[in-house]
C-alpha cells in the first residue's frame, strides 16, 4: 500500500465522512475500555483476567489516539485505526479462549470481530474506489 495514495484519498469527501463516523465508533470503544478500567465493567477490573486488564489499557490508549486522528482525518489516525482493528482481529480469532469464557462473552467477541472486519473492508473498499484510475499504467500504483 502506497502512503501517497492514503494521503490523497483522505481529501475525498466519501473517505472524510467515513473517517468521522469511524471516529465515533472508536470513541464508544474507548469509553467502554475506560469504564472497565474504572470498575464499571462486567466485573471489578482488579478481579478481571490479565488478558482483559492488558487489553483494556492498550485499547483505551489506541482507541483514544485513533479517535483524535480519525476525527482530524490524518494518516496517522488511519494507521492507529488499522493497528487497533487488525490487532484485535488477530487476538480474538487466534486466542479467543483468553478473552471469552461464557457464551455471552463469546457472542460479544464475535460481534467485535465482525465489526472490525466490516470497518476495515469498508475502508479499503472506499480507498480503492475513490482512487481515480486515469489509464491502465496507473493501476499498478493502486497495488503497491
Nearest to 18 by CA among 132, 142, 125: 125
Domain annotation covers residue 8: no
> Is residue 120 a part of any domain in this protein?
yes
Q: Residue 131 pLDDT more than 70?
A: no
Q: Would you say 130 and 14 are in contact if contact means Cβ atoms under 8 Å apart?
A: yes
List the Cα angle 113/126/27 in 5-degree steps: 50
| 35 found inside a domain | yes
- Is position 142 within any domain? no
pTM for the whole structure: 0.82
- Pick the residue with more confidence: 35 or 4? 35
Grid coordinates given for 103: 457464551
Residue 134 has pLDDT above 50, yes or no: no
Its domain, for residue 76, covers 17-132
Asked, for residue 144, whether it belongs to a domain, the answer is no
How far, rounded to the nearest angstrom, does the alpha carbon of residue 108 sit from its chain's CA centroid? Answer: 16
Which one has a higher pLDDT value, 133 or 100? Answer: 100
The three cell numbers of residue 52 are 482483559
* Domain assignment present for 10: no
Higher pLDDT, 43 or 11: 43
- Looking at the domain assignment, is residue 66 inside a domain? yes
Contacts of 65 (CB under 8 A, 6+ apart): 77, 80
The total number of structural domains in the chain stands at 1
Taking 3-state DSSP, the helix, strand and coil percentages for the chain, each rounded to the nearest 5, stand at 80, 0, 20
- Tell me the C-alpha distance between 77 and 59, whole Å: 14
Whether residue 4 is contained in a domain is answered as no
Q: What is the pLDDT of residues 61-76, one digit of tens each?
A: 999 999 999 999 999 9
Task: Considering only residues 95 and 42, tell me which one the structure prediction assigns the higher pLDDT.
Answer: 95
Which SS3 state, helix, strand or coil, does residue 84 take? Answer: helix
Distance CA 13, CA 26 (A): 20
92 touches 99 (CB < 8 A): yes
Amino acid at each position: 500500500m502506497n502512503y501517497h495514495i492514503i494521503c490523497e484519498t483522505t481529501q475525498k469527501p466519501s473517505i472524510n465522512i467515513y473517517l468521522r463516523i469511524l471516529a465515533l465508533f472508536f470513541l464508544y470503544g474507548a469509553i467502554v475500555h475506560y469504564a472497565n478500567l474504572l470498575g464499571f465493567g462486567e466485573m471489578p477490573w482488579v478481579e478481571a483476567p490479565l488478558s482483559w486488564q492488558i487489553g483494556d489499557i492498550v485499547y483505551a490508549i489506541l482507541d483514544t489516539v485513533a479517535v483524535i486522528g480519525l476525527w482530524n482525518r490524518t494518516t496517522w489516525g488511519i494507521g492507529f485505526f488499522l493497528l487497533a482493528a487488525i490487532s484485535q482481529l488477530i487476538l480474538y480469532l487466534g486466542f479467543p479462549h483468553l478473552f471469552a469464557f461464557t457464551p455471552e462473552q463469546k457472542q460479544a467477541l464475535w460481534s467485535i470481530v465482525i465489526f472490525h472486519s466490516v470497518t476495515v473492508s469498508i475502508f479499503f473498499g472506499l480507498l480503492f474506489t475513490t482512487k481515480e484510475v486515469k489509464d491502465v499504467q496507473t493501476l499498478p500504483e493502486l497495488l503497491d
